[in-house]
Amino acid sequence: MLQGLSHQAREAKSWPFEQARLLLDRVFRLRLAEEERDLAATLVNAGKIAEAVAALPALREPVIFQCGYGASGLPHMGTFGEAARPTMVRTAFRALTEDSIPTQLIVFSDDMDGLRKIPDNVPNREMLEEDRDKPVTSVRDPYGEHESFGAHNNARMRAFLDGFGFDYTFMSSTETYRSGRFDEVLLRILERFDAVQAIMLPTLGEERRATYSPFLPISPKSGRVLQAPTLERNVDKGTIVFADEDGTLTEVPVTGGHVKLQWRPDWAARWTALKVDFEASGKDLVDSVRISNRIVKALGGEPPEAFHFELFMDENNQKISKSKGNGLSMEEWLRYGTPESLAYYMYQSPKSAKRLYFDVIPKATDEYLSHLDAFNRARAQGDTPPIDNPAWHVHRGAPPEKGSPVSFSLLLNLVSAADASTKDILWAFLERYIPGATPQSEPLLDQLVGYAINYYEDFVKPAKRFRSPDARERAAMEDLVQRLAALPAGADAETIQNEVFEVGKQAGFEPLRAWFAALYEVLLGQSQGPRFGSFVAIFGVPRTLDLIERALAGELVAA
């Protein structure tokens, strides 16, 4: 699938390839001696990446991509983006290296964090209140389905990612701490405690500085994660001393899951212990990444390549917040649009702030469909795969060979004109427009039909506002009736569109889009839509004539 693409990948302009090339430079810089780097560069530039890997054993170690998940809540829109963006870079890296260098995406669950806030949308909140501040993998499952609340949310997250087909390795913070996988780096933090404090303390307020420690001990008595200062450090024994909740001085090892790191040192420890090469994060975490990078270096490690994406905004251009509940949820997007349209929206201009609200779904869907069609046209002509096409990234290097013959915006207008409430009503029009088409032969179109009905019922129908035509618009529509009635049976969309253009020109509409806006406002109760000729071809000339006559008679406004 990704073989033979290294030359294209070296020249590709899309952001995942830019990141992939930076990542390959990092791999050469960190893993190879100078003479080895020269050899690797020569072979890669000659398109002989497999030979480079065969000659240089250090290149056979996996390149690690990582993203995190907060296990105190259920997966959401951000969870999808956390996995989608590094997956796009990983796919680009695999194409750049023709899959010769192994890669791995780690999805890391922060399930050892103490449960600080009780979610509003869970049952048995009183039980969770009793377990507050315990690691979420020690909090009882309010649903009664798993051994802990953390295990419940981890299972939901894994099912969520599996449902989208992500290729990943799941890791649990609880398991990595308790199994000893983090022991070496934890002991190093204990040894270099003062260096870590020197990085962290200037970033904190005066009150917190007085008690801050990178280690959060877990009380042997209550099982709670404590914000307790470190009173003594015993590097030789690998322990710390702190005051437990009842004031008792308590000594615990920093290894084996007896402590949890504060989140910035935890991030740095994870990068160091797992040898993470790439992580993407939101622009709001730029400072946190910078601080964690410094801690990694203090521990003798190398920070990963960082990619910062802009945050999504709601309809009022306010930052989306889980606590506020503004913006658009994962479930809401998937009621109105395909997962691929969401992946496309995640791909598009990641360094620009974008609104994440219902009205972006139709545009994102049609842009995705347009890119998929362009990719398949190039593929049908035997051209080299256009790997800068967003569809290539959305589908992880393997876009489907068939898209949809009808755009989402056109379906929305068809639903509106037909007042369709079921797929069967819409398919009655589509089967006539696309001979031989069925829901089985056009599965993507069938999905879009369902999404269009949902979107129309929830957003378009309540907002429809018909108006009466003015004198010029009325005369033009009467002319359009005559022209459409004179068309031969079976006239195609292009022929119809040309007639509509001519009517607008003859009527003196300037700019011409004002004519099309008038058609949609008068006939469909909305200000914009797709090509009118395509709409008429699917809806049918007789039904369109009837619709125009009803509008001219004032029936649509009265309704």
Q: What is the pLDDT of residues 223-269, one digit of tens each?
A: 999 999 999 999 999 999 999 999 999 999 999 999 999 999 999 99
Token pair 């990983």 in the structure block, residue = 90
Task: List the structure tokens of 382.
Answer: 């035997």
Taking the C-alpha atoms of residue 65 and residue 368, their distance in angstroms, rounded to an integer, is: 26
Instruction: Provide the 10 A C-beta neighbour count for residue 311.
Output: 15
315 CB-near residues (< 8 Å, 6+ apart): 355, 357, 359
Angle (CA) 183 188 194, round 5°: 140
Dihedral of CA atoms 11, 16, 19, 20 in degrees, nearest 10, equals: -70
User: What is the residue whose two structure tokens read 């997966």?
Assistant: 75
Neighbour-count burial of 504, counting CB atoms closer than 10 A to its CB (0-12 exposed, 13-18 middle, 19+ buried):
buried
Tell me phi and psi for residue 108, to 5 degrees.
-105, 120
Q: Is the dihedral of CA 135, 139, 145, 146 positive or negative?
A: positive
Q: How does strand 232-234 pair with strand 239-243?
A: antiparallel
Note if the bond before 511 is cis, omega within 30 degrees.
yes
Percent of the chain residues topping a pLDDT of 90: 80
Distance of CA 148 to the CA centre of its chain: 28
63-69 sheet: strands from edge to edge: 169-172, 103-109, 63-69, 278-282, 305-309
Angle at 185 between CA 179 and CA 188, to 5 degrees: 135
Dig out the tokens for 492 from the structure. 């195609």
- Residue-level pLDDT at 545: 95
Residues in the chain, how many? 559
Helix (H) or strand (E) holding 38: helix 34-45
Secondary structure (3-state) at 249: strand
- Tell me: pLDDT of 327 over 70: no
At 140-172, the pLDDT tens digits run 999 999 999 999 999 999 998 999 999 999 999
pLDDT at 331 over 60: yes
pLDDT of residue 382: 81
Residues 449 and 339 sit within 8 Å (Cβ to Cβ): no
Residue 67 to residue 445: CA distance in whole angstroms: 33
Task: Tell me if 69 sits within 8 A of 108, measured CB to CB.
Answer: yes
CA distances from 131 to 117, 126, 226, 301, 347 (A): 11, 9, 13, 36, 39
pLDDT for position 223: 97
Nearest to 1 by CA among 380, 445, 397: 397
Taking the C-alpha atoms of residue 307 and residue 286, their distance in angstroms, rounded to an integer, is 9
User: According to the model, what pLDDT value does residue 45 have?
Assistant: 83
CA 65 to chain CA centroid, Å, is 16
Phi, psi of 552 (to 5 degrees): -65, -25
| Contact criterion met (CB below 8 Å) for 307 and 280 | yes
Q: How confident is the model at residue 119 (pLDDT cuts 50, 70, 90)?
A: confident
Give yes or no for a contact between 294 and 248, defined as CB atoms under 8 angstroms apart: no
Q: Return the residue matching tokens 């119809």.
A: 496
One-letter amino acid of 474: R
Residue appearing with tokens 């084996």: 256
CA distances from 511 to 28, 269, 517 (A): 56, 61, 11
Whether residue 111 contacts residue 90, with contact meaning beta carbons closer than 8 Å, is answered with no
Tell me the per-residue pLDDT of 16-37, one tens digit each, with 9 for 90 and over: 999 999 999 999 999 999 999 9
User: How do residues 271-316 score in pLDDT, each as one tens digit?
Assistant: 999 999 999 999 999 999 999 999 999 999 999 999 999 888 777 7
Q: Report the pLDDT value the prediction gives residue 312, as an integer from 0 to 100.
A: 82
- Distance from C-alpha of 130 to C-alpha of 139, rounded to nearest angstrom: 9
The 3-state DSSP class for residue 242 equals strand
Q: What is the pLDDT of residue 321?
A: 59
Per-residue pLDDT for 75 more than 80? no
Dihedral sign for Cα 98, 99, 104, 107, please. Answer: positive
pLDDT of the residue at 326? 55
- pLDDT tens for each residue of 354-367: 888 899 999 999 99
Phi and psi for 105 in degrees, rounded to 5? Answer: -105, 115
Sequence letter at residue 530 = P
Residue 322 banded pLDDT, cuts 50, 70, 90: low
3-class SS of residue 215: strand
Pairing of strands 103-109, 169-172: parallel
> What percent of the chain is modeled with pLDDT above 70?
98
pLDDT digits (tens, 9 = 90+) for 521-546: 999 998 887 789 999 999 999 999 99
